Amino acid sequence: MSGGRNPHGGTTVEVKVHPRRGSPSSSSNPPVTRDRDFRLFKQWVPWLIPTFVFANVVVFIFTMYVNDCPENAFHGTCVAPFLGRFSFQPLKENPLFGPSSFTLQKMGALEVDKVVHEHEGWRLVSCIWLHGGAIHVLANMLSLLFIGIRLEQEFGFVRIGFLYVISGFGGSLLSSLFIQTGISVGASGALFGLLGGMLSELFINWTIYANKMAALLTLIIIVVINLAVGVLPHVDNFAHLGGFGSGFFLGFVVLIRPQFKWISQQQSKSGSHAFSVKQNKYLPYQYVLWVLSFLLLIAG
């Protein structure tokens, strides 16, 4: 309120009225949630996938230490002899710049005869942490970082770690059924499981994606290219197929996402505005895919 004098000599009183707090004129509108806003989902800090990469590299270095090419191979035949006991086997024996088959077998490579007749079932899991050479481990770890980091950011370490290990196990199982001789090593089955999980995640969460066909086409191209590599010599495509199938069905179970409208409704409950109609957390087709995939996993 302020006072002043008018030209006629009177006093003018000016009163300024401020709106009350909380009145209808000053109330804020309810927050508008944009459809397909992925910021509504929790984002995780990835640490498990980098840990897996570190573990695989350490295991490979230790495998080369155990291999000790200068001690166990003919003199002068080791590759990169300046590395000492970490030098590689002759390229005729291992073109991937790695250890001998005997060393890989000793370290826990998948060998069906030992699994079946000597009850060494742990080899079905240990083999996914071993690699046949420097080229093998480099290619797999780069792929793991490229695929796994994004998945762990979106779904967390528990689900992605479970998907990785179970897919590797599934790859080992299928490899054991069709390859009865020789040994098998590598994280390729687990990697294909992550690819399979990405594909099933796209299907089961189909309605929340904007560029559905572009994402689907990209994934299919990546999978086909990687499966085509399996026709090369010494590549275990059965492990790839087993890992992909395991990850594909498991992805329907562990990578399912609620609908955006349901998340918005849950967030609005703490505020003054609420949805007039209750939103479903999942759509009917998501429940159907979840149940079918779970049953197929158990049957498998």
Helix (H) or strand (E) holding 12: strand 11-14
Active-site annotation holder among 175, 176, 188, 264: 188
- DSSP 8-state code for residue 38: G
* 84 torsion bin: left (phi>0), alpha (psi -120 to 50), beta (else): left
Phi, psi (rounded to 5 degrees) for 12: -105, 130
Q: How far apart are CA 123 and CA 105, in angstroms?
A: 10
Phi, psi (rounded to 5 degrees) for 99: -85, 180
Catalytic residue list contains 28: no
- Dig out the tokens for 88 from the structure: 């590689």
**CA torsion through residues 62, 64, 67, 68, sign:** negative
Q: How far apart are CA 25 and CA 156, in angstroms?
A: 43
Catalytic residue list contains 119: no
- Dig out the tokens for 108 from the structure: 């826990």
Cβ contacts of 57 within 8 Å, gap of 6 or more: 137, 141
Active-site annotation holder among 175, 184, 240, 246: 240
Cβ atoms of 299 and 61 closer than 8 Å: no
Enzyme catalytic residues: 188, 240
